[in-house]
Structure 1
Amino acid sequence: MQHGALLIEVLITLVIVVTGLWGMAKVQARLQLSEMESYQRAQALLLLNDMASRMATNRAAAGSYAVALDSPLGVDMNCPAAGATPPERDLAEWCDALQGAAETLGTGSTRVGAMIGGRGCVEDLGGGQFMVTIAWQGMTPIVAPPASVGCGKDRYDGAPGTPCQGDLCRRALTTLVGVAAL
Structure 2
Amino acid sequence: MNYIRTMHSSPPVTPLVAQRALGFTLIEVMVTVFVLAVGILGVAGMQAVSVRESGNTYHRTQADLLVVDIVDRMRANRNEARKGANSAYLADPTQAAGDCEGIECDEPTMAGHDLREWNQSLMATNLPNVSTSITFVQDTVAGTTTVGSVFSIQIFWDEDRDGSTGKGCDPDNQADMSCTSLTIQI
Taking structure 2 as the reference length, what is the TM-score of the superposition? 0.67
105, 108, 115: which one pairs with 1:91? 115
- Which residue does the alignment assign to 2:24? 5
Q: Please state whether the residue corresponding to 1:176 is helix, strand or coil.
A: strand
Q: Please state whether the residue corresponding to 1:99 is helix, strand or coil.
A: helix
Aligned partner letter, 1:96 = Q
- Which residue does the alignment assign to 1:135? 156
Q: Please state whether the residue corresponding to 1:38 is helix, strand or coil.
A: helix
**Superposition CA RMSD, Å:** 2.6
- Give unpaired runs (5+ residues) of structure 2: 1-19, 82-86, 100-104, 140-148, 168-172
Aligned partner letter, 1:117 = N
- Which residue does the alignment assign to 2:137? 125
- Conserved in 2, the CA contact under 8 Å of 1:79 and 1:96? no
> Bigger radius of gyration, 1 or 2?
2
Q: How far apart are the structure 2 equivalents of 1:140 and 1:96?
A: 21
- Which residue does the alignment assign to 2:59? 40
175, 179, 186: which one pairs with 1:166? 175
- Conserved in 1, the CA contact under 8 Å of 2:128 and 2:161? no
Aligned partner letter, 2:180 = L
What do residues 51-73 of structure 1 show as CA deviations (whole Å, max 9, x unaligned)?
01111111111121014xxxx64
Q: Please state whether the residue corresponding to 2:59 is helix, strand or coil.
A: helix
Aligned partner letter, 1:116 = P
Q: How far apart are the structure 2 equivalents of 1:116 and 1:9?
A: 49
Q: How far apart are the structure 2 equivalents of 1:10 and 1:118?
A: 52
10, 14, 25: which one pairs with 2:44? 25
- Conserved in 1, the CA contact under 8 Å of 2:128 and 2:158? yes
- Conserved in 2, the CA contact under 8 Å of 1:98 and 1:120? no
The count of residues paired between Structure 1 and Structure 2 equals 141
- Conserved in 1, the CA contact under 8 Å of 2:166 and 2:175? no
Q: Please state whether the residue corresponding to 1:121 is helix, strand or coil.
A: strand
Structure 1 or 2: more helix by fraction: 2
Structure 1 residues 40-49 or 80-89, which shifts more?
Answer: 80-89
